[in-house]
A = this chain, B = another copy of it.
Amino acid sequence: RTLRIGLIPGDGIGKEVIPAGRRVLEALPAYLKLKFEFVDLKAGFEAFEQTGAALPEKTVDILKAECDGALFGAVSSPTQAVKGYSSPIVALRKKLDLYANVRPVKSVMTAVKPIDMVIVRENTEDLYVKEEKTYSGPDGKVAEAIKRISERASFRIATMAGDIAVRRQRLREDGASSIHKSPLVTVTHKSNVLSQTDGLFRAASKSALSAARFNGVTVEEQIVDSMVYKLFRQPEDYDVIVAPNLYGDILSDGAAALVGSLGLVPSANVGEGFAIGEPCHGSAPDIMGKGIANPIATLRSVALMLEFLEEPAAAAKIYAAVDANLEAGVLVTPDLGGTATTEQVVEDILNKL
């Protein structure tokens, strides 16, 4: 099988880690019978400055017409509001209907407590519909934004969370090491305040998770503020967490903090038959150009993309090589307390493939 992958490095260290993602795909062992073709695509603040568009139409068109998946690096947000600029990753998720953002957070080293969870974030609606207006009130300006929650999107994201919980359980039964014994999905919302919007998310999620194939999955719920509290206090309790877009965004970063560095945490933006791998870190202007960005979040994002493109064996190879590098703990980048360069870490992981 040949997979055509769009490469969207974006800004800052995106340009340093996405090439590492490409190399690991090219280095996959031959017996997996996978070939890759790559297309270089633009997006980000630099693209905005050059072309006037943070997400050029060409990028979207080529992804839709030609690609099976993609890797997205990171983009710089301007520090001041810039007219006409808005985040290309948010637009991309919407334009390709990549309705789920999936972030596995698993501790290997550095963690005080073992953690093994996946955050499944709805990716297309909530406050991210970006429908805003500003008007003059009696005491100055007033701005309003719409938070939109649909039954359909909530049902579909909870279904994906349930499927991920079942798949993880199957892997455990096949011998994958895990701190969990049985599958759990935690539905996060704030329906004590937002009875209609978050109430709908809650009801649609519960309805999706009551499907017969989720019989063995325990379903719980947490109010988002209490979820953040529990995430810090008892992270080991959680298996799969499903949340509307904004809470999912916040919980993902919170969970990432638990495993020591954003440089370790991957994500995938997933739709029907398409996935974009995306490291959780940003463009990190402070370390850009120094060659010391941690490539692991990207390499894991490559593996996660492969999982959603139905290539679990290739994904497993990459995860294992990354875990071996981390367990050895020698060739690690400065964010993990090491002194290795991006290049050295990538070489080490390629050798372990």
Contacts and interface: CB of A to CB of B under 8 A. Distances in A.
17 contacts: A77-B192, A127-B190, A130-B193, A130-B194, A132-B196, A139-B150, A140-B150, A141-B151, A141-B200, A143-B197, A144-B147, A144-B196, A145-B194, A145-B196, A190-B246, A225-B252, A231-B257
A228 interface: yes
A187 interface: no
A189 to B, nearest CB: 12
A56 interface: no
Interface residues of A, number: 59
A81 B191 contact: yes
Interface in A199-246: 199-200, 204, 223-226, 228-233, 246
A199 B150 contact: no
Given A139-B152, A145-B149, A229-B262, 7 more contacts: A77-B192, A134-B200, A140-B151, A143-B196, A143-B197, A144-B197, A190-B246
A289 B286 CA distance: 54
Given A81-B199, A197-B132, A252-B225, A127 B150 contact: no
A142 interface: yes
Contact of A194 (B132, B199, B253): B132
Given A139-B152, A192-B87, A232-B232, A226 B253 contact: yes
A137 interface: yes
A249 interface: yes
A312 interface: no
A146 interface: yes
Interface in A75-113: 77, 81, 86-87, 90
A198 B258 CA distance: 27
Given A134-B200, A228-B250, A147 B145 contact: yes
Contact of A141 (B146, B150, B195, B253): B150
A127 B197 CA distance: 11
B149 A147 contact: no
A208 to B, nearest CB: 12
Contacts of A254: 228-229, 232, 254
Nearest 6 CB-CB pairings of A with B: A140-B151, A232-B257, A132-B196, A139-B152, A225-B253, A143-B196
Nearest to A77: B192
Given A139-B152, A149-B143, A192-B77, A229 B200 contact: no
Interface string A279-302: 000100000000000000000000
Contact of A132 (B134, B137, B155, B195): B195
A128 B193 contact: yes
Interface string A146-183: 11111110010000000000000000000000000000
